[in-house]
Amino acid sequence: MTTTSVLTDRERAAVQAYLRLLHTVRAAFDTDGSPSGSGRPPAVPPSVLAEAEQALAEAGLRGNEEEFFRLLHSWGPRG
């Protein structure tokens, strides 16, 4: 039996911010096949990181990765 959780607005915002951060990092790595073409890590805009941090804090999930990833999994694609 699969359980479905209903996310609060703040939890949903945290998941969405995390997904934006994930997509930004993936795009940075995909640009030329290497982190930055110069051996340096990819540049991730500070605003994307700040948004994710703020959303996690507002949802009460900062420092609670286990709960956050449970929520992320429950909100993910169904198949």
Q: What is the rounded CA–CA span in Å between residue 35 and residue 44?
A: 11
In the chain, beta strands by DSSP E: none
**Residue range(s) defining the domain that contains residue 40:** 9-75
Instruction: List the pLDDT tens digit at each of the 79 positions of the chain.
Output: 455 667 889 888 888 888 888 888 888 777 655 544 566 666 778 888 888 889 888 888 888 888 888 877 776 655 4
User: What is the structure's pLDDT at 45?
Assistant: 83
Q: What is the rounded CA–CA span in Å between residue 28 and residue 32?
A: 8
User: What is the structure's pLDDT at 60?
Assistant: 86
In a domain, 15, yes or no: yes
User: What is the structure's pLDDT at 79?
Assistant: 45
In a domain, 64, yes or no: yes
Largest CA distance in the chain: 49
Total number of domains constituting the chain: 1
User: What is the structure's pLDDT at 65?
Assistant: 80
Predicted model pTM: 0.65
In a domain, 4, yes or no: no
